[in-house]
Amino acid sequence: MPVRVQTEDFDISAEILALRAGRSDVGAVASFIGVMRDFNEGSGVTELTLEHYPGMTEKSLQQIVDEAHGRWRLQDALVVHRVGCMRPADQIVLVVALSAHREEALAACAFIMDFLKTRAPFWKKERTPEGERWVESRASDDAAAGRWLPGDPR
Amino acid sequence: MPVRVQTEDFDISAEILALRAGRSDVGAVASFIGVMRDFNEGSGVTELTLEHYPGMTEKSLQQIVDEAHGRWRLQDALVVHRVGCMRPADQIVLVVALSAHREEALAACAFIMDFLKTRAPFWKKERTPEGERWVESRASDDAAAGRWLPGDPR
Amino acid sequence: MIAPMATVDLLYFARLREALGIERERLVLPEGVATTGELRAWLAARGGAWASELDARRQVRMAVNHDLAGAGQRLSDGDEVAVFPPVTGG
Amino acid sequence: MIAPMATVDLLYFARLREALGIERERLVLPEGVATTGELRAWLAARGGAWASELDARRQVRMAVNHDLAGAGQRLSDGDEVAVFPPVTGG
């Protein structure tokens, strides 16, 4: 499955190995891991809870992966996103893109992360010394996703 | 050591784990693995021999990593490049960049690969059914490295 | 005209779910409510937290049957309509 | 003027090493050879594979003491000078 939502942690080596199995035409493996930091928006963060919208999450991630396949020549691509309760330094999300060439694998990896950040229905709630709070979306994430759209001036 | 040249294979999970050890401010881990393909320039390739220039290799890789640190806010970066004899599907090179933010980690990873491809003294010799041949450098690699230089029109 | 007695399932997520104190409800679309935008305005008219959370100045996203939807999307009987804040995964 | 009897270590890599049939040599810089470019021209004048491999139209890179060097870089006694084709790692 090219997209998975799970509470368990993941291992990047095992995921890449499974993705590459039986393929000898892969020249480039680009990957990204999003990790929980212990600090955000001026506060220490001791715990993170990730909520999602089952059904829509998988569908939106699949659409993002499909769109990446349409833009670049990828042999395969994978998204694993965790939900539930996490602690600092925990892995949150993994994206892997396989291609014959590095430019396409790296671009696809950046693209998938940018769209995931603005389109996939996940929400983060942080526990800080001041109490719990929902993470606010960032304008910079909208800007990052916008650069892939036609007509973007950059 | 942020740069290593070795004959042995590497494991991306172990490398990332070691690089992240003791850090809870990392939010983004971008990585790239270059893999040996069984096909290049119209021929099947059964074996690859990687030669390098000991001393200059380490120095040039370190300069590339230092330059990446100067351009982006990275918590750490790693380059592992193998030399010697390799077979299809073998891993050749690993680049990892750690940052608080994904944009910087991904850009640094692409930058290091582009400069490594044009500046680090490695040479590939392929064995094909037609015999052995030295791999020719690609104009597209020069172009990729050029986009990071000041005054590049793109 | 929408079909008489069109029923939708409404789902709320994250901050909205907590602030509104509701996770899901089944709603017979009231007269004059044929699009996502009209539905949002009708829900805001419930007052209290509904008014403040769904105010036109607040960033609210809606999805119909698991696809993000603009304010003009028409609703049909049996639709699953989700209402949530901007996403923050990754 | 360069110092009399300046000596450099010359290293050859990859296709050049094979085509020239030599891995390294120690060279007392001949008169009139003070830069990497002049050294390359002097080596090409050895004829045969030297002429064809180091011809001005061939892509050849040089490094002095482990740093890539342009054609105008001056050479000093004790320098390690490497001559090689464009790199193809990664």
CA distances from B118 to B30, B136, B137, D17, D61 (A): 21, 12, 8, 19, 11
Domains of chain C: 7-84 (3.10.20.30)
**pLDDT single digits (tens) A31-76:** 999 999 999 888 999 999 999 999 999 999 999 999 999 999 999 9
Interface test with B, best of A10, A29, A45, A74 (most B CBs within 10 A): A29
**Is A35's CB within 8 Å of B13's CB?**
no
Q: Is the pLDDT at A153 greater than 50, yes or no?
A: no
Helix, strand, or coil here: C46? Answer: coil
CB pairs under 8 A between B and D: 73
Query: For position B149, what pLDDT does the model report?
Result: 86
The tens-digit pLDDT sequence of chain B (154 residues) is 799 999 999 999 999 999 999 999 999 999 999 999 999 888 999 999 999 999 999 999 999 999 999 999 999 999 999 999 999 999 999 999 999 999 999 999 999 999 999 999 999 999 999 999 999 999 899 999 999 988 654 4
Q: How many CB atoms within 10 Å of residue A16?
A: 23
Q: What is the rounded average pLDDT for all residues in chain C?
A: 95
In D, minimum Cα distance to B124 occurs at D88
Nearest to D13 among B53, B81, B113 (CB): B53
Query: For position A3, what pLDDT does the model report?
Result: 98
**Is B12's CB within 8 Å of A16's CB?**
yes
- The domain limits of chain A are 3-139
pLDDT cut 70: percent of chain D above it: 96
> Is A3-139 CATH 3.30.70.260?
no
- By the 8 A CB rule, do B20 and B29 touch? yes
Q: How far apart are CA A152 and CA B134, in angstroms?
A: 42
CA distances from A7 to A84, A85, C56 (A): 6, 8, 35
pLDDT band at A154 (very low <50, low <70, confident <90, very high): very low
Nearest Cα of chain D lies from the Cα of B24 at a distance, in angstroms, of 30
Judge D/C contact: 3 or more CB pairs < 8 A: no
Chain C neighbours (≥3 Cβ pairs under 8 A) are: A
Nearest to A122 among C67, C68, C87 (CB): C87
Query: For position B97, what pLDDT does the model report?
Result: 98
Chain B neighbours (≥3 Cβ pairs under 8 A) are: A, D
Query: For position B154, what pLDDT does the model report?
Result: 45
pLDDT band at A102 (very low <50, low <70, confident <90, very high): very high
Which phi and psi angles does C50 have, rounded to 5°? -60, -45
Query: For position C3, what pLDDT does the model report?
Result: 53
Q: What is the mean pLDDT of residues D13-22?
A: 98
Interface test with B, best of A10, A15, A24 (most B CBs within 10 A): A24
pLDDT cut 90: percent of chain D above it: 94
**pLDDT single digits (tens) C6-65:** 999 999 999 999 999 999 999 999 999 999 999 999 999 999 999 999 999 999 999 999
pLDDT band at A152 (very low <50, low <70, confident <90, very high): low
Burial class (CB in 10 A: 0-12, 13-18, 19+), A96: buried
Least-confidence region, from A150-154, D52-56, D61-65 = A150-154
